Structure 1
Amino acid sequence: MGDVRWATFDCFGTLVDWRHGIATTAELLFPGRGPELLELYNKHERKVQAETPAMRYGGVLEEALRRATREAGLELREDDASALSATIPYWPVFPDVPRALADLRAAGWRLALLTNCDNVFIGESQRRLGVHIDAVVTAEHVGSYKPNPSHFTRFEESFGAMRDNWVHVAEGYFHDIEPAHALAIPRVWINRQGLTDDPSIADVVLPDLADVLNAVEQTHAAAQRR
């Protein structure tokens, strides 16, 4: 399958608006505190994933939310700890996603998701994308969370992806762009948040997915010339 062209994507943050999903759910639990809890959750999620890489994503959601509310001085009821797991199937897809994925498929690219969630959650989110996905690698499959490189190596080994025919597209700098760079996998950074991290480690930087087909084609052409 070395001649197959693969465009792989992170899901949450790149395709699904996880910030909206977490902030809105937190706001339901603690009115007026949603944005604050989003930022605290983001900080604690990384720590939970690093400390317990074999934990299923539902457990990560619960533990990170517990730590975030505790740091914010809020009391999280035990029966509310699963709120994020309950709402994740309804977190919205970014408006630019269906067209961008459809354009890539029409141009002959196969699509895959390399995601830090588990099999059930990605199945629930995948139905909202509106485009067939050819392959999925989850944290449940590999027993670890990005930036551990296992998602990338499992995908490469399982589907015979060649790095000069593979472009990874992601919003997450820490979870995706840095490890893809370390593995010399061609990469497009979707900097939706306007972050100031070093853009030079990405082959192309975009603010959204509107022009992702051109970016992926450009990155692929450069990889072919190396």
Structure 2
Amino acid sequence: MFEEFNALSFDCYGTLIDWEAGIGAVLGPWGRAARPELTDEELLLAYADEEARVERENPTTLYPQVLEEAFRATGAKLGLPVSEADAKRLGASVPDWPAFLDSASALQRLSKRFKLIILSNVDKKSFAGSNARLGIEFDRVITAEEVGSYKPSVQNFEALKKYADGADLKVLHVAQSLFHDHVPAAQAGLKGVWINRRHHRAGWGATPDPGVDVKPDWTFNFMAEFAEAAVPQGSD
């Protein structure tokens, strides 16, 4: 399975790192301090479109500042004040966001057969904290800071393709977000694996509705399942 590929590109946040838990750890206490009935899911839904808008309108802004501005906009949407300390807390929180429990072991397993690439809406400094949680050295890390745009811009996927072509790599893109990843990856001609981390929950959470019908080439609920399919026990 997947024999036509020799490299895997990964979205990081939502796929390898639990960004909903990380964002919710800041938004949850803030929101419920004013309105105790608010759930993390409701706050994530309010936040999702604001982050995407800030990224679209400010493609060269570093991710910590994107988080801060998206938080302020979420507060305005909900009619709740966001202090400068609140905004800074979210902006600085990326290194604290937890990895999904199966991410590190799955990456180690996949690295036995594939080159591993990150294609992420993040800045280099913030990703360094996440990389430490994943416990592996990626062959290439392509950030929004480097490209000068945020997914779902196809520009990010063109940067991935340029690197892959230069390194003679046949890349399969692995991601949770249909909006940020699978729609533009398909437009760029890349095949994809959907890690459906939200399979047990309705709605889109911190990821906007993709707005179009998209069917990834393969679907797994967990990274561990994908790793077993791609590098079966005994094949290494």
Normalised TM-score (structure 2): 0.83
Q: Is the 8 A contact 2:110 2:231 kept in 1?
A: no
How many Å apart are 1:4 and its aligned residue? 8.0
1:89/1:217 CA distance change after superposition, 3 Å? same
- Count of equivalent residues: 214
Q: Is the 8 A contact 1:21 1:91 kept in 2?
A: yes
Runs of 5+ unmatched residues, structure 2? 204-209
State the distance in 2 between where 1:193 and 1:204 align.
16
Greater shift in the superposed pair: 97-106 or 149-158: 149-158
Q: Is the 8 A contact 2:178 2:214 kept in 1?
A: no
Equivalent residue, structure 1, for 2:184: 179
Equivalent residue, structure 2, for 1:56: 62
State the distance in 2 between where 1:29 and 1:38 align.
12
Q: Is the 8 A contact 1:23 1:34 kept in 2?
A: no
Normalised TM-score (structure 1): 0.86
From 208, 215, 224, the counterpart of 1:201 = 215
Equivalent residue, structure 2, for 1:65: 71
State the distance in 1 between where 2:13 and 2:49 align.
15
How many Å apart are 1:62 and its aligned residue? 0.7
Equivalent residue, structure 2, for 1:144: 149
Q: Is the 8 A contact 1:188 1:215 kept in 2?
A: no
Which residue type is aligned with residue 185 of structure 1? L
Question: 1:83-122, aligned counterparts within 5 Å?
Answer: 83-106=89-112, 108-122=113-127
1:4/1:172 CA distance change after superposition, 3 Å? closer
1:202/1:132 CA distance change after superposition, 3 Å? same
How many Å apart are 1:199 and its aligned residue? 7.5
Ranked by relative contact order (alpha carbons within 8 Å, sequence separation 6 or more), the top structure is: 2
Greater shift in the superposed pair: 5-14 or 192-201: 192-201
